[in-house]
Amino acid sequence: MRYQRKTLESPEWWQSLDAYIAEQKERNRDHVQSALIPVLHHVQDTFGYIPVKAINHVAQQLGVPTAFVCGVASFYSYFSLTPKGIYTISVCLGTACYVRGSQAVLDEFCRQINCRPGESTPDGLFTVHEARCLGACGQAPVVMVNDVVYARVTPEQVPDIIAQLTAEAQAESA
Amino acid sequence: MSDVTLTIDGVSATVPRGTTIMQAADTVGIRIPRLCYHPRLSIEGACRVCVVEVEGARNLVASCHYPAEDGMVVRTHTPEILQLRRDIVELLLDNHPEDCNTCERDGNCELQRLAYATGIRERLFAGERKHYEKDNLGPAIIRDPDKCILCGRCVRVCGEIQEVGCLGQVNRGFKTVVMPAHDAPMVETVCTGCGQCVNVCPTAAFLEKDATADLMKAIEDPEMIVVSQMAPSVRAAIGEAFGEAPGKAYEGEIYAAMRRIGVDYVFDTQFSADLTIMEEGAEFVKKLAEGGPLPNITSCCPTWVKYCETFHPNLLHLLSTAKSPMSMQGAMVKTYWAEKMGIDPSRIFSLAVMCCTCKKFEATRPELFVNGLPAVDRVLTTREFAWLLRNYGIDFTHLQPEEADNPLGESTGAGVIFGATGGVTEAALRTAYYLLFQKDLPADALNFEQVRGLKGVREATLDFEGTAVRLAVVHGLSNANEVLDRLIAGGEYHWIEVMGCPGGCVGGGGQPYAGANAVPLDECLLAQRASALYNLDAAREIRCSHHNPSIQRLYQEYLGDPLGHKAHELLHTYYYPRVPMGVRPQEAQV
């Protein structure tokens, strides 16, 4: 099966995006490029990434060249230009987590879902990332799944986490 | 504004406050090496080649953006700086193909010059090197990211001078690439083909698409009859490609050179510049009489036409329907002249040597074809033509001048000045006056100084025997937007001339690269090229298009009247909106 993000995209959403763009444009009247980053955040919050059609739309509505929007969207690592899974798994490879074995945790996640870091599963469920410090060194090694922090993760726990998330997603889509 | 006095390498310099260290150094004969800096573009400060030491400053500073201050002590060539500058250039070379011998820019490359100037005599490390596909899908511009050193000049010229915004820097760090939105092929983007990216690129990351091989093949083909034309501006700049000082026109030498390389009939675009004036002048006078639609906006510049189709589709009805001189010439070659000579038009190879990269695109526009054949088969830029002459071993500057062939080679002073911004307007005014009042302007009133020069936007109101004619002349597309904004806001104009490139065609994207001591788009250089054309005009006996005997004969023998049926069929065209990826939204409302 293929998992679909519960996207909020709709004709109304695009209208609300236009309203948001107008608001940001007004706020950044003297330098309209400055409105770009909040607008791109708004887009990514909905899609989980920034699709081409949204780049074109934002460029048109803001009145900045599309090439510039592509430049900004590709510069910041927070923005993604490719679709993400429903669950983004970020395994911290910062110093504290690393010395407590987070590399093995990352490897296990990759093995379980059969992806390399930065990739997504074909079913659209998981994306796995290496992260630098997540600011929770006391609980190392740390893994974040979307907004949820998993503390002191061991490779042995990884199959359970995957199973639990998969069950959750199946329940949601049922 | 007050002045500041600083010391640079022991030399005292007094400059207005706000001047950068680099500009201050320039005034006292110290040329700090530079790469990403361009005087007409915003400051990027990306290359760090121009670093200098400022006493009391914690680090070395980039002199291109650091303002000069009172009492500042600057050193530009300490051993530390020289070493650092060399290191910086070496790092650029580490990620640059070592193919200078076979590179198009060999001998004209700023990176090459800088590597020499900073004393790099051997390559120490072989680093990881980027590799991307070349984009050569379009008819005009080639983009080769492997050669790119990320100075960002193309991005800035495209966004700031041209307001096209086709290019951007995508990704980050080592993976940064200059590309159009979504990495689309240039031909599918908002790119107007103006070629200013080629002009300002320090290396060979942007080039025109080479057409010399096709020409050489046609020359060698006994079945093909090669017929040439050349734009006015080619003669104003080609000398520079052979090391001559700017400002000298080579006209007869180019005719001679064309015959030497094997062109069968040597004509001149200036003939059709006169023809354009006949048509566009008549169109303008008709619009004035009928009250519109006004203003009449010129359409000789293919860059401007494509820009208008892309960004201002609601203004297309104001563009003159007259084809550009190049396309008129091609159309006349393959109809009038072919019939006159009894030559099958499909055996004619119509060559145009142009100062322009976008003319390569124009030649491919299907609506400009004549009886199913392209009006112009291949376009060579001034640069390509100069290369071809070198390849054929022609000692260009020592050629004996020759005359063009007739009838499509005869031109007036009005046709010559097409190459300078304001020239089309001036030429059109000379003929429009005649058409309006059935008499010529007095010989001492043929120059319209109001529309000459290099000011970005020149507006004038002329008194034509009691009738006010309001003109605007612009060059560079950002200046076009300025006037169009005024027009959209209700400004009244009768005539607007737009040339896409700074300086008009003399500053075209196909002109010789700026030499070792020059800067691309330099106003002095553009003014010198323009004055070469104005001098030719002043020396011409006939200075009004409607007095060109060959033009008169063409109408008598073949076309009938200006704007007549045949003229309409062969000399006029139409325009259509384009919606490529990355178009700006604000379509002009009139």
At B30-83, the pLDDT tens digits run 999 999 999 999 999 889 999 999 999 999 999 999 999 999 999 999 999 999
- Residue B403 DSSP label: P
Nearest-Cα distance to chain A for B242, in Å, is: 37
What's the whole-number mean pLDDT along residues B1-6? 90
Residue B582 has pLDDT above 60, yes or no: no
Higher pLDDT, B384 or A132: B384
Is 70 exceeded by the pLDDT of residue A126?
yes
pLDDT of residue B590: 32
The predicted pLDDT at position B557 comes to: 95
Give the model's confidence band at B581: pLDDT under 50 very low, under 70 low, under 90 confident, else very high: low
User: Catalytic: which of B50, B197, B300, B358?
Assistant: B300
CA triple B160-B166-B168, angle to 5 deg: 80
Structure tokens, B365: 């526009």
List of chain B residues whose C-beta atoms are within 8 Å of the C-beta of residue A61 = 585
Using alpha carbons, select from B316, B340, B334, B350 the residue that is nearest to residue B570: B334
Q: B587: alpha, beta or left, given left = phi > 0 and alpha = psi -120 to 50?
A: beta
CB-CB: which of B169, B581, B586 is closest to A56?
B581
Neighbouring residues of B417: CB distance < 8 A, sequence distance ≥ 6: B232, B423, B426, B427, B533, B534, B537
For chain B, which residues lie within 8 Å of any Cβ of chain A, measuring from their own Cβ?
A: 155, 159, 164-172, 179-182, 190, 581-586
Q: Where in chain A is the domain with CATH 3.40.30.10?
A: 87-173
Q: Do the chains contact at A60 and B180, CB–CB below 8 Å?
A: no
CATH T-level assignment (fold) for domain B141-207: Alpha-Beta Plaits (3.30.70)
* Residue B476 CA: distances (Å) to CA of A4, B158, B339: 49, 10, 39
Residue type (1 letter), B351: L
Compute how many other C-beta atoms are within 10 angstroms of the C-beta atom of residue B346: 13
Residues in chain A closer than 8 A to B170 (CB atoms) = 67, 70-71, 74-75
Residue B425, token pair as written in the block: 């307007």
Whether the per-residue pLDDT at B587 is higher than 70: the answer is no
B172/A75 Cβ within 8 A: yes
Residue A59 contacts B, CB cutoff 8 Å: yes
Q: Which residue of A has its CA nearest to B166?
A: A67
Output the pLDDT for position A42: 92
Q: Whose structure tokens read 């608001």?
A: A23
Which residues lie below 8 Å from residue A168, measured CB to CB, with a gap of 6+? Answer: none
Helix%, strand%, coil% for chain A, nearest 5: 55, 10, 35
Average pLDDT value for chain A: 91
Residue B476 has pLDDT above 50, yes or no: yes
Residue contact A74–B170, C-beta within 8 A: yes
- Nearest in space to B143 (alpha carbons), one of A67, A31, A92, A145: A67
According to the 3-state scheme, what is the secondary structure of B12-50? EEEEECCCEHHHHHHHCCCCCCCCCCCCCCCCCCCCCCC
Out of B279, B280, B384, B410, the active site residue is B280
Structural contact between residues A85 and A126, judged by C-beta atoms closer than 8 angstroms: yes
Q: Say whether pLDDT at B127 is over 90.
A: no
Give the residue-averaged pLDDT of B531-556: 96
B272 is catalytic: no
Q: What is the mean pLDDT of residues B210-235?
A: 97
Fold of B213-571: Rossmann fold (3.40.50)
Classify domain B3-77 by CATH number.
Answer: 3.10.20.740
DSSP B205: S
pLDDT digits (tens, 9 = 90+) for B140-186: 999 999 999 999 999 999 999 999 999 999 999 999 999 999 999 99
Determine contact: A60 vs chain B, CB below 8 A. yes
User: pLDDT digits over B271-284, tens only?
Assistant: 999 999 999 999 99
Residue B362 annotated among the catalytic residues of the structure: yes
What is the predicted pLDDT for the residue at A147? 85
Residue A84 has pLDDT above 90, yes or no: no
- Which of B168, B172, B585 faces A67 most closely, judged by CB atoms? B168
Q: What's the residue count for chain A?
A: 174
Give A60→chain B minimum CA distance, Å. 5
From the CA atom positions of chain A, what is the Rg in Å? Answer: 18
Select from A74, A79, A82 the residue whose CB has the most chain B CBs within 10 Å, as the one to mutate to test that interface: A74
pLDDT at res. A171:
87
Closest partner residue to B181 (CB to CB) among A63, A67, A77 is A67
Spatial CB neighbours of B444, under 8 Å, sequence gap ≥ 6 = none
The Cα of A165 is separated from the nearest Cα of chain B by a number of Å equal to 32
The CA-based angle A36-A41-A47, given to 5 degrees, is 125
pLDDT of B392: 96
Residue span(s) of chain A under CATH 1.10.10 come to 11-75
Residue reference for tokens 């004209």: B108
CB contact under 8 A, A71 and B582: no
CA dihedral A93, A98, A101, A106 (to 10 degrees): 10
Where residue A1 falls among pLDDT bands split at 50, 70, 90? low
Q: What pLDDT, on the 0 to 100 scale, is given for residue B588?
A: 34
Q: Using 50, 70 and 90 to split pLDDT, how confident is the model at B585? A: very low
Q: How far is B172 from chain A (nearest CA, A)?
A: 5
- Residues B315-339 have a mean pLDDT of 97
Q: Do B583 and A74 touch (CB under 8 A)?
A: no
Q: How confident is the model at residue B586 (pLDDT cuts 50, 70, 90)?
A: very low
- Asked if B300 is an active-site residue, the reply is yes
Say if residue B515's pLDDT is above 90.
Answer: no
Look over chain B and give the mean of its residue pLDDT values, rounded to a whole number.
94
- Asked if omega into A155 is within 30° of 0 (cis), the reply is no
What CATH code is assigned to A87-173? 3.40.30.10
**pLDDT at residue B224 tops 90:** yes
Chain B residues touching residue A51 (CB < 8 angstroms)? none
| Residues B278/B571, Cβ–Cβ less than 8 Å | no
- In this predicted structure, the answer to whether residue A91 has a pLDDT above a threshold of 70 is yes
The predicted-structure confidence for B342-388, as pLDDT tens digits, reads as follows 999 999 999 999 999 999 999 999 999 999 999 999 999 999 999 99
Name the class of domain A11-75.
mainly alpha
Residue from B44, B253, B279, B283 carrying the catalytic annotation: B283
- Please indicate whether residue B389 or residue A129 has the higher confidence score (pLDDT): B389
Domain spans, chain B: 3-77, 141-207, 213-571
* CA nearest to A65 within chain B: B165
pLDDT at B402 over 90: yes
